[in-house]
A and B are shown apart, each in its own frame.
Chain A
Amino acid sequence: MLKNGESESILYRLYALSGLKDALKSRRHFSDYIFKVILGLVIIIIVSPFFLILFQVAGVGFWQVFGTGPGQGLEFLFTFPGAGLEGGIRNAFVGTVELIVVASAVGIPLSVCGAIYINEYTRPGHVRGIVEFTSDVLAGIPSIVFGAFGFVFLVDFLHIGMGIIAGSLTLAFMMIPTILRTTQEALRAVPMSLREASLALGATKWSTTWNVTLRAAFPGVITGFLLAIGRVMGETAPLIFTAGNSLIVPTELAGPGSWIASMPYTIWAYISDPREYLQVKAHGTALALMIMVLAIDLIANLISRKVTRRLV
């Protein structure tokens, strides 16, 4: 007999490590092993698109965002578009930030108030059912339909015209169902006895909701904001007919001066162009957008964890 660990070949060790050694003990061991392998393969299939996308986008656009040449790195983010390799995507970068800020400023308070009303002030029944059903349907509507609605209703019917207002209101419409439902779920998870404790001290319903219920639900509410912002940040379709496009940042609230560029729209415009350097710029923009979404995710996570630690 060989002494253990002395002359086992590398192949044999791999064989043992892969679990095959155990798997071949019996039929039941083997089928158990097969399922483990299948599930592992499925996971690889599930996560590979993310890495492939990252690989593709970063492969082409990496130097655009992190390089130091003309129109690269910080210059790429903070200069307006120029000729050829020169210039960057400041119009789109600032545009996306402005659109998201305005859309959140409109969408978040509306949906949080709506969720509070539905969950705290109505009884389970028809009204609540209708609102829940509507927002679930709204959340599933394709973004191009929001774009078309924004164009027909805001731009045309209300005569707002294309630009920052119509664009961000359309994004706000898209955010509302997500935030409404996540906020509502977070509020529902707050135990009734917490509300009762506040009411039993002589608090009004409003003060109970604001100071106790919403506070206890805060981590879940933040997650809803993050999901909604992450979703609309990368949307092109709602903006095509509503935001217009621009090589500068908007200077007015109405008319052509309010037209606004956005990063997804810029990606779409650049990638539809056969010129090589525009392809590179498109990928750079895409990479920058991915990093922004990731950063928002991380910040929101941090806030929610900090708050959770302080509260619970």
Chain B
Amino acid sequence: MPEYEHNIEVHGLSTWFGKKHILKDITCYFRDNTVTAIMGPSGCGKSTLLRTLNRLNDLVPSFRRKGEVLFKGTDIYGVGTSVYDLRKHIGMVFQKPNPFPMSVFDNVTYGPKLHGVKDEDELNKIVETSLRKAALWDEVKDELQSPAPNLSGGQQQRLCIARALSVDPPVLLMDEPVSALDPISAAKIEELIIELKQDYTIILVTHNVQQAFRVSDQAAFLYLGELVEFDETKRILEAPADSRTEAFITGRIG
């Protein structure tokens, strides 16, 4: 029995960009092998919360933070934590598909190569497993060497998922991964998310209540930087305990 309960736990997290207080004293945890949806209207801090989990907010010079984010029981902002190792273990998929300007193959091997995989056979194997997991293998197996930006939007996003999976992270962060896609591609990726949760802890930021309902097991509702509700998705959507949650679900705020 490990001494930590979940892969990722957040304790009393507050963040600021400059003087602007973004997240206010958030405490939650993300259960393993489930999809946790982070919902809320625009500007409520969903993305900030997500990007705090893999320290991508460190890029913003005015970013400040109080509180703890524990990954497997260790504070990721603590002394001696290598941000590069951390990000190897916490993958991320972005809102807009952002494949690198390289071939499909090189996109998937980029991560493993960074972390020292050099063996040709092993790289080939990683490419195949990652693309299979992202449900893209059958579509691109004959054109692995063609430029990734030539793929369609939905394929590009699945490639980005494959790229994130290539370094085998236990946790996958997804920042509105389907909002820039057409409905059919979006549906494919939603299916994929449900499939992936068997092996990964998935944290999904979404603007879309229906999507949270379809995909997620537990949900966090953020409003103006406060964690308003945090529970099973079904419970929150069927019987919201807070009037703000209800207003969001019914479309009165958003």
Contact = CB atoms under 8 A, between A and B. Distances in A.
Nearest to A193: B98
A182 to B, nearest CB: 18
Contacts of A216: 100-101
Interface string A271-312: 000000000000000000000000000000000000001111
Given A193-B94, A193-B98, A215-B101, A202 B111 contact: yes
B110 interface: yes
B123 to A, nearest CB: 15
Contacts of A119: none
A201 interface: yes
Contacts of B100: 194, 197-198, 211-212, 215-216
A207 B94 CA distance: 20
Residue of A198, A202, A212, A215 contacting most chain B CB atoms (<10 Å): A202
A198 B110 contact: yes
A127 B137 CA distance: 47
Contacts of A202: 84-88, 111, 114-115, 167
Interface stretch (B54-62, B184-192, B215-223): B54-62
Contacts of B160: 197
Interface residues of A, number: 22
Given A193-B96, A212-B100, A201 B167 contact: yes
Interface string B70-106: 0000000000000011111001101110101110000
Contacts, number: 74
Contacts of A215: 100-102
B163 A312 contact: no
Contacts of A193: 94-96, 98
B164 interface: yes
Nearest to A211: B110
Residue of B84, B91, B98, B166 contacting most chain A CB atoms (<10 Å): B98
- Size category of the B interface is 20 to 34
Residue of B85, B111, B166 contacting most chain A CB atoms (<10 Å): B111
A32 interface: no
Residue of A197, A200, A311 contacting most chain B CB atoms (<10 Å): A200
A196 interface: yes
Contacts of B54: 200
Given A200-B92, A202-B87, A310 B164 contact: no
A204 interface: yes
Contact of A201 (B59, B101, B164): B164
A17 to B, nearest CB: 44
Interface string B148-174: 010000000000100110110000000
Interface in B156-212: 160, 163-164, 166-167
Contacts of B98: 191, 193-194, 196-197
A272 B84 CA distance: 64
A199 interface: yes
B220 to A, nearest CB: 21
Contacts of A211: 100, 110
Nearest to B110: A201
A203 interface: yes
Interface in A160-216: 191, 193-194, 196-204, 207, 211-212, 215-216
B97 to A, nearest CB: 9
Contact of B114 (A197, A203, A312): A203
A126 interface: no
Interface string B123-150: 0000000000000000000000001010
B82 to A, nearest CB: 9
Interface in A210-235: 211-212, 215-216
Contacts of B111: 201-203
Contacts of B61: 123
Contacts of B88: 201-202
A199 B59 contact: yes
Contact of B147 (A196, A197, A201, A311): A311
Interface string B21-38: 000000000000000000
A311 B56 contact: no
Contacts of B164: 200-201
A199 B56 contact: yes
Nearest to A194: B98
B147 A310 contact: yes
Q: Which 5 A-B pairs have the closest CB atoms?
A: A311-B101, A202-B88, A200-B92, A202-B87, A201-B111
Interface of B: 54, 56, 59, 61, 84-88, 91-92, 94-96, 98, 100-102, 110-111, 114-115, 147, 149, 160, 163-164, 166-167
Given A194-B100, A202-B86, A203-B111, 11 more contacts: A197-B98, A197-B160, A198-B100, A199-B87, A200-B87, A200-B92, A201-B166, A202-B85, A202-B88, A211-B100, A311-B147
